[in-house]
Amino acid sequence: MIEKHQNLICFFLPDALGGVESVVKNIIKGSNLEQSSVVLYKNENEHRKTANFSSIKCHIKNSTFSSLNNAYYNAKKLYRDSGITKDSIIVSTDSEEQNMVQLLELSNRLVFIVLGDFNHYYNLAFNNQGVIESFIAISEEIYSNLVKLMPHRKNDIFKIYFPTPSFSATKWNNKLPRKVIFVARLEKGKGIEHVLELNEALIKRKVKLKFSIVGSGPLFKQTEKKIAENRFDNIKLLGFLSSKELLELYATHDIFLMFGES
């Protein structure tokens, strides 16, 4: 069924490097959806590194909006820039495309991929459920939380693990120090501050791990400064890495560290 309609499928996502971009690229590559369309949108008042879909053979559309304009104007512009028709299936990852469907009263089928265990995504799912045909949860925890949040929509909630590239890991190293990798955009709410707190607590307990921090963002310089001030010589701040570089790095580490919202 997906292959039959792949030329009508349109993925919407923010035009920024990061996890959302990686997930969508893996879905397109792993699900034979390279004839689909991708709409990358961004706020012209924000400055972030843009997504890179050059390795994907799909139809790329770009759209910009301004928070200074009213929501209806932005929705109309996104609709025009996307080039979708009434038959297009909209695959949503965030708010702008859901606002577009709501405000313009579109009849398109809308599938929402809930990409993280964060209140932002749960609020979008609950508040816009009137225009969302189905929800895709990418983990057991997200699936359970969505069902609790919207028990009446249980039959429309699907747990699907998105495709990821395979790689060969090194053998488990029984010797300390273990190597820990943390990957996220360095901004408030992503957990970078907890990495430093965790490291400090472990050092006080005479446990010293090696940390690799991968990612860029507004807190990069601040994080770099804190690492230097605290003389955390066991932490490497690596900045942004390509998918290929990241996969190679995963294979050399023992522990993947991540934080969810409390």
pLDDT digits (tens, 9 = 90+) for 146-195: 999 999 999 999 998 877 666 666 665 666 678 999 998 888 888 899 99
The answer to whether residue 4 scores a pLDDT higher than 50 is no
Rounded to whole angstroms, the Cα distance separating 157 from 84 reads 25
Rounded to whole angstroms, the Cα distance separating 25 from 38 reads 10
Which residue(s) pair with 12 in the sheet? 39
Give CA torsion, residues 47, 232, 19, 113, to 10 deg: -120
For the entire predicted model, the pTM comes to: 0.76
Tens of pLDDT, residue by residue over 185-234, are 888 888 899 999 999 999 999 988 999 999 888 899 999 999 999 999 99
Chain centre distance of CA 224: 24
Q: Give φ, ψ of 39 to 5 degrees.
A: -105, 115
Q: Give φ, ψ of 214 to 5 degrees.
A: -115, 125
What pLDDT score was predicted for residue 251?
87
Rounded to whole angstroms, the Cα distance separating 82 from 91 reads 12
Question: Edge-to-edge strands of the sheet including 235-239?
Answer: 235-239, 210-214, 179-183, 255-257
> How many other C-beta atoms can be found within 10 angstroms of the C-beta atom of residue 248?
12
Strands (E), 6-152: 9-14, 37-43, 59-65, 89-92, 110-114, 134-137
What pLDDT score was predicted for residue 259?
80
Are the beta carbons of 10 and 37 closer than 8 angstroms? yes
- What burial letters (b/e) apply to 63-91, b meaning 16+ CB within 10 Å? bebeeeeeeeebbebbbebbebeeebbbb
DSSP 138: S
Query: pLDDT category, 2, cuts 50, 70, 90?
Result: very low
**Mean pLDDT of the residues in the chain:** 88
